[in-house]
Structure 1
Amino acid sequence: MKGVKTVSALLFTGALLAALSGCEKEEGPAEKAGEEIDKAMQEAGEEADKTMDKVGEQIEQTGEDIQEAAKDDDN
């Protein structure tokens, strides 16, 4: 009798897990909007990084130009 209860409990648990795994939660409009915001923020961050890299390169080049001009003035 104890073995029948154990087997029944295992079968019930297995059936319950199979049923629950088949139920996928659909995304609602708020979750979709949140994902779009996350994507937009990620893209904006990447663009800001690119812009800052370009600005840094320009500042570095300007510094080199100033140093070169200062050397020319010393001669």
Structure 2
Amino acid sequence: MGRFIALMILVIPAVIAGYGIKLMRDTIFTLLNTPYPNLSVQFIAGFILFLAGLGFIGGFIFHRDKKNGKIAPRFKRRK
């Protein structure tokens, strides 16, 4: 059950990042989606969603590797 919860923790931000990529792609092809008033707002929202999803996944992996002692010495805390 614990692995399933961890998988869901990683799938939800991946879907958010994928939706951000879709919004940015639609902006490049000048397709305006409904909740956005113009293309620049749509692109900025997509970029923010992409960065948020990617940042969460990266932070999750970094935290897990740090807990298991698999990170480079420059990222370890100094005492």
Task: Quickly name the TM-score band, shorter chain normalised.
Answer: 0.3 to 0.5
Give the greater-gyration-radius structure (CA).
Answer: 1
Q: Which structure dedicates a bigger proportion of its chain to helix?
A: 1
Q: Relative contact order, CA 8 A, sep 6+: which one is greater? A: 2
Report the TM-score when normalising by structure 1: 0.38
**TM-score normalised by structure 2 residue count:** 0.37
